[in-house]
């Protein structure tokens, strides 16, 4: 994880972090989401928040939505579309 965070190329960083965070989100979505939220500045962080939100939604939609609602507005605006998109795929009536 530390190696990936030191990458200076944004797309390389996202490519390195995404699979790790995806696995982490399967086991502990809240911890993975907090990690992503703490790095939510900039485009790379927003991508991570979006991916974690979508992953969390697959496991616990109400937990993901509650987390998103507690975020600062700029981060929430990134997380909510990922949640809605994941819900649309897994449970269209809930979206």
**In this predicted model, what pLDDT tens digit does every residue of 77-87 receive, in sequence order?**
888 888 888 88
pLDDT confidence tier of residue 95, bands split at 50, 70 and 90? low
Helices (H), 6-72: 10-27, 29-38, 42-59, 61-69
Q: Which helix (H) or strand (E) holds 5?
A: helix 2-5
| Predicted confidence (pLDDT) per residue in 27-74, tens digit | 898 888 888 777 767 777 788 888 888 888 888 888 999 999 988 888
Of 63, 33, 58, 61, the closest CA to residue 48 belongs to: 33
The more confident residue out of 30 and 5 is 30
- Give the model's pLDDT for residue 82: 81
The pTM score is 0.73
């Amino acid at each position: 994880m530390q190696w990936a965070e030191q990458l200076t190329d944004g797309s390389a960083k996202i490519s390195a972090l995404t699979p790790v965070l995806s696995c982490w989100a399967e086991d502990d979505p809240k911890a993975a989401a907090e990690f992503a939220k703490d790095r939510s500045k900039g485009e790379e962080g927003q991508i991570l928040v979006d991916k974690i939100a979508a992953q969390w939604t697959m496991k616990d939609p109400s937990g993901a939505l509650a987390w998103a609602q507690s975020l600062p507005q700029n981060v929430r605006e990134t997380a909510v579309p990922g949640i809605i998109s994941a819900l649309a795929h897994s449970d269209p009536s809930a979206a």
